[in-house]
Amino acid sequence: MQTATHSITSQYEALKQTHPHLRFRDAAHHMGISEAELLLELKLAKPLTITPKKLLEALPSFGRIMSLTRNEGCVLEHSGTVDEVSVMNAHVATVLGFIETRAFLGAWKHILLVEMPKGNDLLKGLQVFDKYGDAVTKFFLKSEAEPEAYITWKFEAICSEQPLFEKRPHIAETVSLRSDFPLADFLKAWSTMADPHDFFGMLKKFDLTRAQAMSATLGVYTYPFHHHKLPELLSHLAQLQISVMIFAGNSGNVQIHQSEISKIVPMHRDNGVYWLNILDPNFNMHLRMDLIEKAYLVNKPSESGPVLSIECYDAQGELIVQFFGIRKPGISQDAAWVKAVQMSIQN
């Protein structure tokens, strides 16, 4: 173990010499190990034995924090407070406040207490990983004073055992529909949705992925959206201060933004990477435009009228990010959002 740790440390230091701006997560992938494994090998993290419920319910007492959730194509970061946590059962929890998430606790396999140098500072926080060692979500402390629960958990972590991680299997995404798929029944079920949240039950009932559902309803309830129009659309929303809902996440956590946005910053890299950023004081979005393979304008019915969204998918059919107009149950979607989307399509 000591030799392996020394080898990984040497590899990491050599990699940082040749790629000084490489992000920690990308360094781990470059080395062929998970982010969690690299944190532990470099002794930047300690495993905790607390449950996801215990972690979540402590968050309101942490005061101001930064919450980060990502997938391969999109990162959402919010700095603020958690006002309320509701753990419905062993599988689902909601976090409400300026920081808002939907947690799917089956993927919350490992919780690490991480303290990592960054310049002259020390980034402190709690990071959640799945069974493969990939990050589900991260919570960073924003105040110098450590919360009481954090201090307790850091002390308890001294005796924690090192976790074991599984290797992620390669599973090819199937976008095409099977030949006997009951398309007419699916379209009828879509047309009778009372709320967009019914969509998840439909996917399960018809054994479909999201990407397959987008393809199956193309020209009826979903329409191609040219994702190169996203910077213009977001800039228009920012200029008119039209609130927008942004959803991005992974199998274990979906982070949600619902407010106005202000500073839209596209950033092209020499290596072909294209980031579309929202850089607001307490909210950042970093979207890899170059990873978007397909985007759709999606029309879901509800009891209060149509709900329009824009959904972006990567080449594997994985959802990267969703954009909605602000809406509440029983209230129609913001007309300003609908008008902005329609203008974007027409231009």
Phi, psi of 281, deg, nearest 5: -55, -40
Q: Are 261 and 268 in contact (CB under 8 A)?
A: no
2-159 and 183-346 in the same fold? yes
pLDDT bracket for residue 329 (50, 70, 90): confident
Q: Answer whether 196's CB lies under 8 Å from 311's CB.
A: no
Which residues, at least 6 apart from 64, have a Cβ–Cβ distance to it below 8 Å?
Answer: 79, 80, 81, 142, 143
Structural fold of domain 2-159:
Heme iron utilization protein-like fold (3.40.1570)
pLDDT value of residue 232? 96
Residue 1: its pLDDT value, please?
44
Residue 142: pLDDT band with limits 50, 70, 90: very high
Amino acid at site 247: F
Residue 65 CA to residue 226 CA, distance in Å, equals: 35
According to the model, what pLDDT value does residue 5 have? 60
In the structure encoding, which two tokens stand for residue 52, read together? 């996801």
Percent of the chain with pLDDT over 70: 97
**DSSP letters spanning 80-116:** E-EEEEEE-SSSEEEEEESSEEEEEGGG--EEEEEEE
- The rounded distance, in Å, linking the Cα atoms of 290 and 114 is 31
In a 10 Å sphere around its CB, with 0-12 CB exposed, 13-18 middle and 19+ buried, how is residue 198 labelled?
A: middle
- Nearest Cα neighbor of 173 from 314, 73, 34, 322 is 314
Q: What is the mean pLDDT of residues 8-33?
A: 92
pTM of the complete model = 0.93
Find where tokens 């690490």 sit. 112
Q: How far separated are the first and last CA of the chain, in Å rounded?
A: 60
| Dist CA 245 CA 284 (whole Å) | 13
pLDDT at residue 347, rounded to an integer: 73
Residue 135: strand pairing partners: 129
Query: Which positions ≥6 away from 63 have C-beta within 8 Å?
Result: 81, 142, 143, 147
Domain 183-346 of CATH type 3.40.50.10420: no
Whole-number Å distance between alpha carbons of 217 and 202: 13
Distance CA 245, CA 257 (A): 5
Query: Across the beta sheet with 121-129, what order do the strands follow?
Result: 45-48, 110-118, 121-129, 135-141, 65-70, 74-80, 283-288, 274-279, 264-268
pLDDT given for residue 172 in this prediction: 64
Helix (H, G, I), strand (E, B) or coil at 214: helix
- Average pLDDT, stretch 322-334? 88
Residue 177 confidence class, pLDDT cut points 50, 70, 90? confident
Q: 111, 50 in Cβ contact below 8 A?
A: yes
Output the pLDDT for position 96: 97
Q: Is the pLDDT assigned to residue 3 strictly greater than 80?
A: no
Instruction: Give the chain's length.
Output: 347
Q: Categorize the per-residue pLDDT at 185 as very low, low, confident or very high, splitting at 50, 70 and 90.
A: very high
| pLDDT at residue 118 in the model | 87
Domain coordinates of the chain in residue numbers? 2-159, 183-346
Query: Greatest CA separation found in the chain?
Result: 63
